[in-house]
Amino acid sequence: MSDNNDFGVFLIGFAVGALTGAAVSLLLAPQTGEETRRLIKEKAIELKDKSAETYEEAKLKAEKAYQEAKVKVEEFADVSKQKVTEIKTKGQVVIDEQREKLAESIRPKKKLSETAE
């Protein structure tokens, strides 16, 4: 888990460094201020568009993952309900059998002499 976190931090640092380098190169490039402002504006628009695309892609992936998780949870709930019903039915059978045995054991027994008559 730590390796993934370290890699994420590395990627963020790399992106920030790339953006900083691009900005510095634009500011220090041998061109007029008007051209520099135009380039900065174009790059900002490109970055905005890429951000919007990335956001939409991430949103779609998150929605897909949510729907898949929802389906799996529903399937698990259905299986769980079936198992609970099955266990409940088996438990009721055992209870009924034990109740019958208990009733049989406490029922007064007829004496042999009474049954011979």
Residue 115 in domain:
no
* C-alpha separations of 97 from 32, 83, 104, 105, 109 in Å: 96, 21, 11, 12, 20
* C-alpha separations of 69 from 58, 78, 79, 82 in Å: 16, 14, 15, 20
Number of domains the chain is built from: 1
Q: Which residue has the tokens 């769980």?
A: 80
Q: Which residue has the tokens 């041998």?
A: 30
**pLDDT tens digits, one per residue of 15-27:** 788 778 877 776 7
Q: In this predicted structure, which of 3-7, 31-35, 45-49 has the lowest mean pLDDT?
A: 3-7
* Domain with 57 in it: 9-107
Q: Is the pTM of this model over 0.75?
A: no
